[in-house]
Amino acid sequence: MQNKLNIGILGATGMVGQRFIQLLEEHPWFQITWLAASDRSSGKRYEDAAKWRLDTPCPERIAKMTISPADPDGAPRIIFAALDADIAREMEPRFAAAGCAVVSNSSAFRMQEDVPLVIPEVNASHLPLLENQSWRKQSGGYIVTNPNCSAIGLVLALKPLEERFGIESIFVSTMQAVSGAGYPGVASLDILGNVVPYIKNEEEKMQEETLKLLGSLKGSRVESLDAKISAHCNRVPVEDGHTESVSIKLRKKATREQILAAWSEFKPLAGQDLPTAPAQPIEFVAADDRPQPRLDRMRGNGMASTVGRLRPCTLLDWKFTVLSHNTIRGAAGAAGE
């Protein structure tokens, strides 16, 4: 415990903030010493400010902690941030300028040229971008971001295919869980027994982030992957877990066996002893009716991207289904990895 790094959670009372608490409270490297949220919560005990939504109890130590003002004064040097983009845009730079390493879940800086947008298995090589940030040069602080929750599962499945065969076009249609909208999120009367075929800015984020994640670091910027992508994003009445129907056109022909081998052999973090990285980041399920959110979202402790239904596509080359847990792999788990 004495050797653990002190960390803070900004936006600790929200959906992603709660996942951070759940995943980091027993983490072998980190100790949560600081929680912050809005002025509505500041000064209150965590248990009085947060409506705990997860299916494991709120850790007792955390429940008794007092929520600090969202100000860098007195905050630890490592901050996991789970703020809405508008608030993050104003607040995260203040923490970076004060010398904090800010690991951000919001979209505010994901596409900024000097900000790495990272999935550790996919593009840890983009991290040197942060050396270009003015905060880094002045105070040592920086911002690093993790992607949109629908982009993460998709990109994990695409990365080994891009490496081995090259990708020319991607068509993806999502079925996204309600927890992706935070709490209270979508009104129950809008989503129960229904599908909402619109999530503000989501299709644009999926498209541009996917290509940046699969891009290459060229000097001081990332050159996005040269591929066509079209995303359709839908909200469905599922609690957790985003499911996506994907079709792809490859630059080099690949057989079913070659695609399955690319997925099963994809273990870029093997041997690094990272406490929360899954041993098998992409899990293939052979059954015709899988993956399903309720049955498959917790594979790899919620950190695996599950693929299934691989079959030829009559428009492009191959099609398949991908599923990932939106608040674990898609947010807090990815940031903690």
Ligand X SMILES: NC(=O)c1ccc[n+]([C@@H]2O[C@H](COP(=O)([O-])OP(=O)(O)OC[C@H]3O[C@@H](n4cnc5c(N)ncnc54)[C@H](OP(=O)(O)O)[C@@H]3O)[C@@H](O)[C@H]2O)c1
Q: How far is CA 149 from CA 224, 252, 273, in A?
A: 19, 29, 24
Q: Which of 168, 183, 224, 237 is the binder for ligand X (CB under 6 A)?
A: 183
Burial letters for 256-285: b for 16+ Cβ neighbours within 10 Å, e otherwise? eeebeebbeebebbeeeeeebbbebbbbbb
Q: Which of 32, 70, 154, 157 is the binder for ligand X (CB under 6 A)?
A: 70
- Hey, what are 286's tokens? 């052979």
Q: How many residues bind ligand X (CB under 6 A)?
A: 28
Distance of alpha carbon 188 from alpha carbon 101, whole angstroms:
37
Q: How far is the CB of 6 from ligand X (least distance, A)?
A: 19
Asked if 87 interacts with ligand X (CB under 6 A), we say: yes
Interface of this chain with ligand X, residues 230 to 269, rule: CB under 6 A:
none
Asked if 105 interacts with ligand X (CB under 6 A), we say: yes
Toward ligand X, which CB reaches closer, 14 or 141? 14
Q: How far is the CB of 12 from ligand X (least distance, A)?
A: 6
Asked if 41 interacts with ligand X (CB under 6 A), we say: yes
Asked if 182 interacts with ligand X (CB under 6 A), we say: yes
Q: Which of 33, 38, 224, 301 is the binder for ligand X (CB under 6 A)?
A: 38
Interface of this chain with ligand X, residues 274 to 333, rule: CB under 6 A:
326-327, 330-331
Q: Which residues bind ligand X (CB under 6 A)?
A: 11-17, 37-38, 40-41, 70, 82-85, 87, 105-106, 149, 179-180, 182-183, 326-327, 330-331
